[in-house]
Amino acid sequence: MNFLQIFSGASNMVEGVDRSFVVIFGISLFFLIGITGVMVYFIIRYDKKRNPKATQIEGSNTLEIVWTVVPLVLVMVMFYYGYRGYAKMREVPDDAMNIKVIAYMWDWDFEYENGKVSKDLYLPIDKPIKLNLTSIDVVHSLYIPSFRVKEDAVPRKDNYLWFIPQMEGEYEVLCTEYCGLRHSFMGAKAIVMKQDNFNIWLADFTPVDSGTIKGLEILRANACIGCHSLDGSKLVGPSFQGLFGASRTVLVDGVEKSVIADEKYLIHSIKEPNAEVVKGYPANVMQSYTKLLTDEQITDVANYLKTLK
């Protein structure tokens, strides 16, 4: 990875952002080195041994005006370049492909126009992409460093960003707004591919039946996945991934017992979470969901969990 990847152009936003960097860094470096140099020179040149008597100078109006006006002009130049790079970010072309981005603790869902939902962001090269961001819990922020784009995903607010990917490859997608326990693990990949390959990828999916989608929505709405991950990582409670059909050692009143996680077990664990606690996890952390979910909703959840291999 080279230092700034200046103007390397993984997306069409790189140029504007990096130009504003270069302008500001250039001017700043000049002043930093210049002023520091002058200061060090004065400290050496006017040391009390070399210059035992100070010359009293009250100030100079001319100089005050100069060093008010010159910085003012320079910062306006900086402002202009910042504005120019940014203005482009807000003007989305009409033919942009829309992708809905749903952020939640702690993962991203990318939903394409044909209904396909992906955990990674697959993109066709050289095509304007508009990401419509939203969150279902707290504030997150979608950041793709190589593309120089970032915008917050705010609950009940429709934010967006757009760009044109210009180089094939795999790029990091990160969350930059602190969102709790697994904030630093809330990553995904942006995968830029040729249009043909992208079309094949996009067409290849089995539309999920509405029952499973409902299950996932219920899990999110009740913040279940705050403690039970969907990707196998260990949080406060056991992960949902690969849970269905697996054998578990549970504690029943302090006695170990082996059970198979079938539908009956799942429903029982939602209704009476502390009756059979999986070994290695704390008891009495989760409350019963009998009053919070209908039987139908609990069945939807169980059906969804069956699909999480």
Partner 1 sequence: METQKSHLNYIEDTQGRKGIFAWILSTDHKRIGILYLISITTFFLVGGLLGGLMRLELAAPGETVMDAQTYNGLFTVHGIIMIFMVVIPGLGAVFGNFFLPIMIGARDVAFPKLNLFSWYLYMTGALLAVYSQFAGTGAPDTGWTFYAPYSTDSSTNVIPAVFAAFVLGFSSILTGLNFIVTIHRMRAPGMTWFRMPLFPWSLYATAWIQVLATPIVGITLMMIVAERWFQIGFFDPALGGDPILYQHLFWIYSHPAVYIMILPAMGVISEIIPTFVKKAVFGYKAIALSSIAIAGVGYFVWGHHMYTSGMSGTARWFFSFLTFIVAVPSAIKVFNWVSTMYKGSIDVRTPFLYAASFIFLFMIGGLTGLVLGSLASDVHVHDTAFVVAHFHYIIFGGMGFSFFAAIHYWWPKMFGKMYNEFKANVAWLIVFIGFNVLYFPQFIIGIQGMPRRYFDYLPQFHTGHLISSIGAAILLTGIVMMIVNLMKSRKNGNPAGINPWGGVTLEWTVPTPPPVENFDEIPTITEHPYTFD
Near partner 1 in 177-206, by CB under 8 A: 177-185
Q: Which does 273 bind (CB under 5 to 8 A by kind): partner 1, Cu ion, none?
A: none
Shortest gap between Cβ of 196 and Cu ion (angstroms)?
34
Q: Which does 148 bind (CB under 5 to 8 A by kind): Cu ion, partner 1, none?
A: partner 1
Q: Which does 287 bind (CB under 5 to 8 A by kind): Cu ion, partner 1, none?
A: none
Among 137-145, 238-246, 252-260, 298-306, the segment contacting partner 1 (CB under 8 A):
137-145
Q: Name which of 221, 206, 307 is nearest 266 in CA terms.
A: 307
* Torsion, Cα of 232, 233, 239, 244 (10° steps): 10
Contact yes or no for 157/227 (Cβ under 8 A): no
Q: Name which of 221, 247, 236 is nearest 273 in CA terms.
A: 236
Nearer to partner 1, 106 or 244 (CB): 106
Q: Which residue in the set 7, 26, 36, 170 belongs to the binding site for partner 1 (CB under 8 A)? A: 36
Start-to-end C-alpha separation, the chain? 36
Q: How many CA atoms lie within 13 A of 94 on its CB side?
A: 0
Give yes or no for residue 287 binding partner 1 (CB under 8 A): no
Alpha helices in 238-285 (DSSP H): 263-271
How far is the CA of 132 from the CAs of 62, 158, 228, 231, 291, in angstroms? Answer: 53, 7, 27, 24, 35
Q: Which does 272 bind (CB under 5 to 8 A by kind): partner 1, Cu ion, none?
A: none
Give yes or no for residue 52 binding partner 1 (CB under 8 A): yes
Shortest gap between Cβ of 142 and Cu ion (angstroms)?
10
Fill in the amino acid letter for 56.
Q
Shortest gap between Cβ of 27 and partner 1 (angstroms)?
8
- Strands 188-193 and 121-124 turn out to be parallel
Q: How many CA atoms lie within 13 A of 114 on its CB side?
A: 11
Q: How many CA atoms lie within 13 A of 272 on its CB side?
A: 6
Give yes or no for residue 7 binding partner 1 (CB under 8 A): no
Give yes or no for residue 292 binding partner 1 (CB under 8 A): no
Residues 159-178 that bind partner 1 (CB under 8 A): 159, 172, 174-178
Q: Which two tokens stand for residue 248?
A: 């578990």
Q: Which does 76 bind (CB under 5 to 8 A by kind): Cu ion, partner 1, none?
A: partner 1
Shortest gap between Cβ of 271 and partner 1 (angstroms)?
22
Among 46-54, 199-207, 245-253, 259-267, the segment contacting partner 1 (CB under 8 A):
46-54
d(CA 298, CA 292): 10
Contact yes or no for 129/101 (Cβ under 8 A): no
Helix (H, G, I), strand (E, B) or coil at 101: strand
Binding mask 75-114 vs partner 1 (x if CB under 8 A, - otherwise)?
xx-xx-xxxxxx--xx------------------------
Q: Which does 241 bind (CB under 5 to 8 A by kind): partner 1, Cu ion, none?
A: none
Q: Which two tokens stand for residue 210?
A: 């509405």
Q: Which residue in the set 62, 72, 94, 210 belongs to the binding site for partner 1 (CB under 8 A)? A: 72
Give yes or no for residue 283 binding partner 1 (CB under 8 A): no
Q: Which two tokens stand for residue 136?
A: 């279902």
Nearer to Cu ion, 19 or 183 (CB): 183
Contact yes or no for 177/141 (Cβ under 8 A): yes
Residues near Cu ion (CB under 5 A) are 140, 175, 179, 183, 186
Q: Which does 255 bind (CB under 5 to 8 A by kind): Cu ion, partner 1, none?
A: none
